[in-house]
A and B are shown apart, each in its own frame.
Chain A
Amino acid sequence: MGENKAMNKNTLLNRMKGKAFRDYFPIIFLLVMCIAFGFMNDRFISWRNFTVILVQIVTLLVSGMGLTFVIMAGSIDLSVGSTLALAAVATALTVPKWGVLSFVAALLVGAFCGLVNGIIFAVGRVPSFIATLGTMTVTRGIVLILTEGVPIQITDQKFLEVFSGKSLFGIPNTAVFMVIIIFISWVVLEKTPFGKEIRAVGGGERVAELAGIKVTKVKVLSYVWAGTMFGIAGLLQCARVLAATATLGEGFEMDVITAVVVGGTPMSGGVGSIGGTILGAFVIQILSNGMNMMGLSPYLQSIVKGTILVLAVFISIDRKKKTQTK
């Protein structure tokens, strides 16, 4: 008995040791990066640059909140950028009539796109990579038809004031919305049965099913949730750039996936956290911001981003587990 206890303690200690570097990698990386950029450019660490980053990160972070749910449930959504663009177009088209209320259009369009993804994937059993690769392309096509390739301007002052204005202490409204959304996401993921069910489905679908969890429903809902988040991201994005363009969010899915994965949510599902995705998003955004300040060419930036993605997974993956890497 005594030996047994000692052994338990021992394994616990080993686990913590094994975890240490893996789990703290994103935050260590973020700190090192901030210090390095700080030395290289004295404008980097400033209140002004902080608010710039805060505004820029909104789209990424809000989308990340959505994708975290999907990835934790063990699937993937590639249609982030397209959904975001369609929601932006829907907003821009309805703003002249509905004004501020056109945010409803963004939410509905996002949720609908998610619902379609979820049904094709969970009910139709099409692998999520393929399902969302398809809807990504289709949705982009719809965006191109609606915009005819020309940006749809948003001129409604009231709308812009609400969704891209500034409030107290010069903090951008979008950042306030972002914080609210992060908080809601955290509550849903950590405090509700739905969050636990998402984890269970991602951690072991068969186990979850035999535990009486309605796996199909949970999967569909995870996509609806994600789509809604992409819709909100589209809304805030088009408010920031004053227009919905046909190419809005093109290639954006890679940034969001990178943020989620760098934040410690493995593609295999079951594990992950809101805090991790926030960290991951900051890593990606600050990296872009710093590289831009240094005047690094977009080509080089792309190389750096890709390297970071693989490196993050390489470091955080648990190679002791004998499960297959897909």
Chain B
Amino acid sequence: MNFTVKNIRKAFGSTVAVDDVSVTFQSGEIRAIVGENGAGKSTLLKLVSGIHQRDAGEVYFDDQPFHPTSYVDAAMSGVAYVFQETTINPYLGVAENIFINRLREFRNRLGLIDRKKLNNAAQKILDDIGVDFKVTDPIQSLNLGQWKTIEVARGLAYEPKVIFFDESTAFLNYNEVKAFLGIVKRLKANGMAIGIVTHHMNEIFEIADCVTVMKDGKWVADKNLSEVTESELQQMMVGRTLSTIYPEKADSLPETVVLKVENLSQNNKLKNISFELHEGEILGIGGLKGAGGDELLGILFGDEKETSGKIWVDDKEYAHKNPNNAMKNGFSLLPGERTLEGLITSFSIKDNINMGAMKTKGFLLDKSQETEIANKMIKEVTIKTPSCEMPCDSLSGGNMQKVVIAKCLATNPKILLLNNPTRGIDVGARLEIYTVISNLAKEGMGIILLSEDLGELIGLCNRTMIFRRGEMSKMYEFDETPTEESMIQYML
């Protein structure tokens, strides 16, 4: 049995997510798909399992053309996909979660659910995988790894020949990962063709047989894991010499410390983080999703609470109650979710820019001053729009992000917190955003840049911290130049 993908392509708007990729999955083989964020790994798996529809290319399943119309359609035909996100409904039972969209198959003559039949069917699947819990266990008492297993069982309930795992271990702890990998190995032994996407190199070397490397939506290489080393693989993933799209860095840093953080912790999400931010510095934070960067920015901006630790702003202890208070202390945050947290897309550019710092004349809004500020900002961060009165949903992603940056700057911050400012933004707008960030630093603003883009951290930051499971695993000092390979090592 084999599952062959030929020259598949998919674009979302103007972004080509998967470009002319070919790959084959064999029965009894585990193939890992690796690449940086945005390389198109997940999209590839979603294309072949019916979640997205391909724009071009062929897929053959046992030499038959395969064109699933939906996720369920694909699963029924023998190709299952396990989502990265948790799709467990915590208010239903284990068996109901496994057969969530197929409960009608378990109706008795009265049209009611035959619970015994349902539980037996579910238990049988769980037994086949070999799990450490029973179908009757209350779902709330199970851990995330076991939930993931239930999702796997859901896929297996269709008795597929091919199964895909999309970063299934991303939110699991060490023991859960171990148990999960055991299950995947058992599936392989049963002769299933398996595709996995994961960021964890050690997992790949533990279970996979071969690997496909992707970069910027394109196929880079197919390798047997016996013939490559970890660092060779990382080299292929990164694949490029550092480009020149980054503005020149400052050759020295001012002595003045604007922010000092000592032993900051938040439960098990953030552990004993200490650092100093200098005036005019761009301090990078790298790490995998969930490594603690989001929490750190959230705490600094008063949006989340720490469990212990201290923060000083300009040598004064800083009690950060809420975002409003943080802004009064000179902070400004560019949130990670542009359209959910950054701006209100139905509002005008002007209203968004002024949202954080409305200008008043007595009781009333000073509209002319707001327009003036909006126009000044539009020029400063180079937003392409005919007028500041245009609603934000008329803008491209890159220009929307510039509006969020303008909104942050309109409050005249001393410390700017950036959460993945260029996520999902094309190269042209990226370059402009880098220039803006660099200029702000030159004017003396202290900037913390959390980014999933390693090139960005290397190219833009004066110093870079790497977080691993809530701990700082590395601080690249001013005179140290990090490489992408070494950064990845500290992240994993």
Contacts and interface: CB of A to CB of B under 8 A. Distances in A.
A4 interface: yes
A196 B301 CA distance: 23
A196 B323 contact: no
Contacts of B394: 8, 11-12, 15
B140 to A, nearest CB: 22
The main secondary structure of chain A at its interface with chain B is helix
Contact of B344 (A8, A15, A192, A203): A203
B351 A204 contact: no
Looking at B333, B355, B364, the one whose CB has the most chain A CB atoms below 10 A away is B355
A211 B324 CA distance: 7
A211 B404 CA distance: 10
Contacts of A193: 358, 360, 365
Given A11-B394, A12-B394, A203 B347 contact: yes
Interface string B288-329: 000000000000010100000000000000000011101100
A109 B394 CA distance: 45
A200 B360 CA distance: 17
A308 B386 CA distance: 38
Nearest to B354: A196
A212 B323 contact: yes
B386 A5 contact: yes
Interface string B323-354: 11011000001010000111110110001001
Contacts of B351: 196, 199-200
Given A8-B385, A203-B347, A210 B301 contact: yes
Contact of A211 (B360, B385, B407): B407
B384 interface: yes
Contact of B327 (A4, A212, A271): A212
Q: How large is the interface on A (under 10, 10 to 19, 20 to 34, 35 or more residues)?
A: 20 to 34
A187 B365 CA distance: 10
Best-surrounded residue of A8, A207, A270 (most CB of chain B within 10 A): A207
B444 interface: no
A207 B344 contact: yes
A191 B323 contact: no
A15 B392 CA distance: 12
Contacts of B365: 191-193, 195-196
Nearest to A8: B386
A204 B407 contact: no
B411 A212 contact: yes
B52 to A, nearest CB: 16
Nearest to B343: A207
Interface string A98-140: 0000000000000000000000000000000000000000000
B356 interface: yes
Interface string A162-195: 0000000000000000000000000100011101
B475 interface: no
Interface string B184-226: 0000000000000000000000000000000000000000000
Interface in A1-27: 4-5, 8-9, 11-12, 15
A211 B340 contact: no
Given A12-B390, A12-B394, A196-B358, A210 B411 contact: no
Interface in A241-288: 270-271
A212 to B, nearest CB: 4
A34 interface: no
A15 B387 CA distance: 15
Interface in B355-401: 355-358, 360, 363-365, 384-386, 390-391, 394
Contacts of A191: 364-365
A214 B340 contact: no
B344 A270 contact: yes
Contacts of B411: 212
Contacts of A4: 384
A146 interface: no
Nearest to A196: B358
A313 interface: no
A209 B340 CA distance: 11
A270 B345 CA distance: 11
Nearest to B301: A210
B342 A207 contact: yes
A210 B346 contact: no
A33 interface: no
A11 B391 CA distance: 11
A208 interface: yes
A53 interface: no
Given A4-B384, A9-B386, A191-B364, A207 B341 contact: yes
A210 B303 contact: yes
Contacts of B347: 199-200, 203, 270
Contacts of B324: 212-214
Contacts of A192: 360, 363-365
Nearest to B404: A207
Contacts of A199: 347, 351
Contacts of A211: 323, 355-356, 407
A206 interface: yes
Contacts of B326: 212
Interface string B434-458: 0000000000000000000000000
Contacts of A8: 384-386, 390, 394
B92 to A, nearest CB: 21
B232 to A, nearest CB: 42
Given A193-B360, A197-B358, A207-B343, 16 more contacts: A9-B386, A192-B360, A192-B363, A203-B344, A203-B346, A204-B344, A207-B341, A210-B303, A211-B356, A212-B323, A212-B356, A212-B357, A213-B324, A214-B324, A270-B344, A270-B346
Complex A-B, nearest 7 residue pairs according to Cβ-Cβ distance, in ascending order: A203-B344, A204-B344, A212-B327, A211-B356, A211-B355, A212-B324, A193-B358
Interface of A: 4-5, 8-9, 11-12, 15, 187, 191-193, 195-197, 199-200, 203-204, 206-214, 270-271
20 contacts: A5-B386, A8-B394, A191-B364, A191-B365, A196-B365, A200-B347, A200-B351, A203-B346, A206-B341, A210-B301, A210-B333, A210-B341, A212-B326, A212-B356, A213-B324, A213-B355, A214-B322, A214-B324, A270-B346, A271-B346
Interface of B: 301, 303, 322-324, 326-327, 333, 335, 340-344, 346-347, 351, 354-358, 360, 363-365, 384-386, 390-391, 394, 407, 411
